[in-house]
Amino acid sequence: MIKRSRLLNAPPKTLEEIYFSEIRPQLYENHAHRHQTGVRTGTTLAEHLDSACQFILTVSQIAEVPEDKRPLLLAATAVHDLNKLEGSQGRNVKTLARNQEFLREQLEKACVLSFVVSEDDLELVRKLIERHSGHNVSDGARFLPEDPNIERWAAMLTAADLFDLGIPDAQRFRKLEKELTVAYGRSCNLFRISISEDKGYITALLLGACEEVLQKYGLNPLAIFPDGELFEGEALANVDFTKEIAAVWQSKIDQVFGNNIERLVRPTKDGIKVTYQAIQQNIEEVLVNVEALLERKKAGYKSDKITKDVTKWGDAAGANALIKAAELQLLPVSNAEEFAISEGLKAAYLSYREAGLSPKEVWDKIAHHTGISELQRTAIEPFNGQYGRPLFAAKAAVKGIEGIKEALQESFQLRKESTQISEETEVSEEMIAAVSRMVNLPFAIRLNGVDDLNAYVEANPRQRCSLGSTSTDIDELISDNMPPGTKVQAFSNRLPGGISAEPKRQADSIAALAYQLMAVGANFPAVKKQDPLYLHLALPKGSAPELLRIWRELLKQLAATNAEGGTVTIDELKLYRDNQLEFKANKVVGLALPKRPDFVHTSVIIPLLWGDVNNSLALLKSLRLALEISLSLDIGFPFTLSSNLEVELFSDVYGRIEGIPSALQTLLGNGQYQQRQDAEKILERLRCIGKLATSVASIQKADDCLYDLARACVRPIELYYVLLRWTLREQDEPNLSVIWSRICEPLNTLLESFMPDETLLLTKYLKEAAQIAAQANLKGSSFKRTAQAEPFTAFIAAIRSQKSHLDLEIIFAALVQQYYTRLDRINREYRVGATKLEQVKRYYDVLQKLYEEVYSARPEKFLSDQKTLEAAYLFFLEEARKQLKSESKDDSVETTTTV
């Protein structure tokens, strides 16, 4: 098992923090490789013990167990399956629990022995373990007075042991309710809520609203699952919570946007646009933002551009319209002040249109507020309502900015009223419907799914959703308000009579709101140069609510690494070289962590940005970071890595990658990692590649080298050529012995992970030839790379010049004689003899087998691999010399010892 990192480094204060930072990692270190059978098939012993421990922490807190006893309950739970901890001896739990030496040994291995201070503590732990999971009291203690709470605590441990049983929920919940009724001393019922779709931050706020409302009615959070949450309580009122949850949900969304109005009032090429979420918060603040944007428009006034616009829209209205307008002092914009007023008129027009008014009704209201006379109002009718009229009506708007603010205020009020069903209703029907659709609540009134199906079938093709599901609540948005890469369903500017503006995207209002929440709620950099990848992390099924609190606190601390509120990146040198996660601030690339804790619930979405790199490299960097976080000993979260904001809810698959390019499929597999061990194998490969990249390339070029190595994994033998090429790129005359000492371990680990059948024979013969060359010192006259590879390059040259009429035996016999002569010439002081000739002959016999058996004696096939083979040969030669030195040292030590 690979060595996994840790994320929780702060000193623990509570019992829960001690468990997650110290005890839980040890459980996985000890038992992650031990698989279970029966009803728990598919899980490891570590996962079972972890599930039970988290459950006991939550239940003991709800039951208000004294703080001096809770650690003992945790200690008993951490080792409650003593028969499984022992192995295959076959002894039962009762026998093992009464063996104090064995019990203390297991408590120490689980890092919980420090909780057991006295003999009484040990006796309590023994009783709890012996009585769990249906084991009866079978000693004399049943006839003696004992703490009546022991029965309650034993029931808690029994429930913890049953919690992860692989049986249907209905059966499992009945068993749990029976035990928890004893544990709490009151009736206990379990209620589970689940979500049908995860839309990121907006779903987290919805689950937070559900939790807030259900706690108000006396329910306690018991466990968190990737698709919902489990609650317990005496009873649940037979009422529909939908409307109340929707109201709390709406207020939470409003609180988010209340601090981000400047992001919701945006200048566009079509005018200043104000979103509905902005006017929901604070109309006065919106007006301040609009006025500030008008001042910026005034400062950016360019007369030549305005002149072109005036000419364009004046010509469109016609000569007669221009003459009549001039007679009534409707003259075009001519200075910065008038330009700011025209932009204000355009902003008011756009806002009124959002309220559903026609262009005529809009300009009637604008004229009333800004002081445009009735005659002037009639005269500007031929001009384009959005672009032409503001340019010619600016001088006539005698009330100026104040009149525009009045018009804006009225338009905002109309927009609010158009979406509210009545004054006494605090939340719109749209939000209530969204709650009914997204959350499965006890006693909730469910929506009719036929209505949604009909809405999709009967929708106008031009109004089909680019984002979310087709429903009656569809928003038409520009690309800035949609996730990057959202496709356009209908290009109105390409249809006869269509407008020439940017094509609109249709979106389900909740889906669009989910993206806007992400845009204002994540710590994105000021400048985004690349579409992000999204890392979706989910709490493991059955997680304790306390883990959610710790996880939120950790993300908050990581985000605080960047005091300016931008992205947080990692020290790549420490990650690639030492496998350590060290976070630091960055203005452009890294993790755009959530700004608020309540954006994290059953899962969290973390956008990842890597700047100006290709998609494959961004995927590799994102996956390495995702696996390091997901597989850390104290977190262990399932994950999905995708370019989409919305993904399928987490199933039994531990990890999933969407959109793996074909060049990386050998390295990354099919992107579906069923078990934690599958993900660990991929992490090990990425760690090896990271170490190789930093061993042969500088940190500035490590990413490029990493990408080359990842692509070479399609045919792993080519890794040798990539490594040699990068070594030569960084150093003119590298010391291959030193380079090999750095790369041999990660390279061999990586190759063992692949083990492709087609390269086994190839590497066998290459290594055998390198071994002979090292033993016989078959090389040129220097220590340069070309001299080291000389006998092998002579073999390549002979194949390149191979004549079709010559037999292979003749070619290789000539090669042996030629290279033997070459060795004789460069070693004139020490004439080579028959032994050397035999060694050369053995060397080329091996290469002849390689040529015939691997390449079928086809020169074109062999020569296409010549650079790869030469690189592999050089590294195998260094490995052979290393082994010879090691054997020589061993012989020397043995001789000295004998003497």
Highest mean pLDDT out of 413-422, 466-475, 632-641, 663-672? 663-672
- Name 563's Cβ contacts closer than 8 Å, sequence gap at least 6: 585
Q: Is a pLDDT exceeding 90 seen at residue 520?
A: no
The CA distance from 606 to 619, in Å, is 14
Q: What average pLDDT does the segment 342-363 reach?
A: 89
Lowest mean pLDDT across 405-409, 640-644, 826-830, 831-835 = 826-830
Closest-CA residue to 538 (of 614, 626, 472, 410): 626
What tokens appear for 541 in the block?
């099924």
pLDDT tens-digit series, residues 373-428: 888 888 888 888 888 888 888 888 888 888 998 999 899 888 877 654 333 335 77
Output the pLDDT for position 832.
60
Instruction: Give the pLDDT score at 443.
Output: 60
Q: State the Cα–Cα distance between residues 568 and 585, nearest whole angstrom.
A: 5
The reported pLDDT for the residue numbered 483 is 53
The predicted structure's pLDDT at residue 457? 58
466 pLDDT more than 70: no
Residue range 672-682, pLDDT digits in tens: 888 888 898 99
Q: How are beta strands 639-642 and 655-657 bridged, if at all?
A: parallel
Question: What average pLDDT does range 647-655 have in this prediction?
Answer: 78
The answer to whether the pTM exceeds 0.85 is: no
* Ramachandran class of 660: left when φ > 0, alpha when ψ lies in -120 to 50, beta otherwise: beta
Average pLDDT over residues 541-564: 91
pLDDT of residue 301: 85
Q: Does residue 45 surpass a pLDDT of 50?
A: yes
Tell me which range, 65-79, 365-379, 478-492, is most confidently predicted by mean pLDDT. Answer: 65-79
Between 45 and 526, the higher pLDDT residue: 45
In this prediction, residues 283-295 reach a mean pLDDT of: 86
Phi and psi based region of residue 459 (left: phi greater than 0; alpha: psi -120 to 50; beta: remaining): beta
Q: Is the pLDDT of residue 273 over 70?
A: yes
At residue 498, the pLDDT reads: 46
Q: Please tell me the least confidently modeled range out of 45-54, 172-181, 412-421, 705-714.
A: 412-421
CA-nearest of 200, 209, 195 to 252 is 209
The rounded percent of the chain whose pLDDT value lies above 70 is 85
Q: If you average pLDDT over residues 462-489, what whole number do you get?
A: 53
Dump pLDDT digits (tens) for 301-337. Answer: 888 888 888 888 888 888 888 888 888 888 888 888 8
Q: State how far the Cα of 437 lies from the Cα of 453, in Å rounded to an integer.
A: 13
Higher-pLDDT residue of 890, 652: 652
Is residue 135 over pLDDT 60? no
Residue 769: band (very low, low, confident or very high) from pLDDT cuts 50, 70, 90: very high
Confidence check: pLDDT of 455 > 80: no
> CA–CA separation, 537 vs 523, rounded Å?
17
User: pLDDT of 588-607, one tens digit each?
Assistant: 899 999 999 999 999 999 99
3-class SS of residue 781: coil
Residue 485: pLDDT band (50, 70, 90) is: very low
Closest to 651 in 3D by CA, of 229, 226, 41: 226
Q: Look at residues 169, 158, 176 and name the one whose alpha carbon lies nearest to residue 193.
A: 169
Q: Are 388 and 313 in contact (CB under 8 A)?
A: yes
Is the pLDDT at 481 greater than 70, yes or no? no
Question: Is 897's pLDDT higher than 90?
Answer: no
Of how many residues is the chain composed? 899
Classify residue 543 by its DSSP letter: B
Instruction: Pull the structure tokens for residue 475.
Output: 């928003």
* CA distance linking residue 312 with residue 306, whole number of Å: 10
Q: What is the pLDDT of residue 144?
A: 57
Mean pLDDT of 724-745: 89
Q: How confident is the model at residue 634 (pLDDT cuts 50, 70, 90)?
A: confident
- Residue that is written with structure tokens 């039970």 in the block: 52
Residue 221 confidence (pLDDT) above 90: yes
- At 64 the pLDDT is 92
Residue 494 has pLDDT above 70, yes or no: no
Give the residue, 436 or 139, on which the prediction is more confident.
Answer: 436
Of 250-259, 569-578, 610-619, which gets the smallest average pLDDT?
Answer: 250-259
How high is the pLDDT of residue 420?
43
Query: Is the per-residue pLDDT at 99 higher than 60?
Result: yes
Least confident of 78-87, 185-194, 270-279, 882-891: 882-891
Question: Are 375 and 326 a contacting pair, CB within 8 Å?
Answer: no
Residue-wise pLDDT for 78-88, tens only, equals 998 888 887 65
pLDDT mean over 822-835: 69
Taking 70 as the threshold, does the pLDDT of residue 109 lie above it?
yes
pLDDT of residue 75: 94
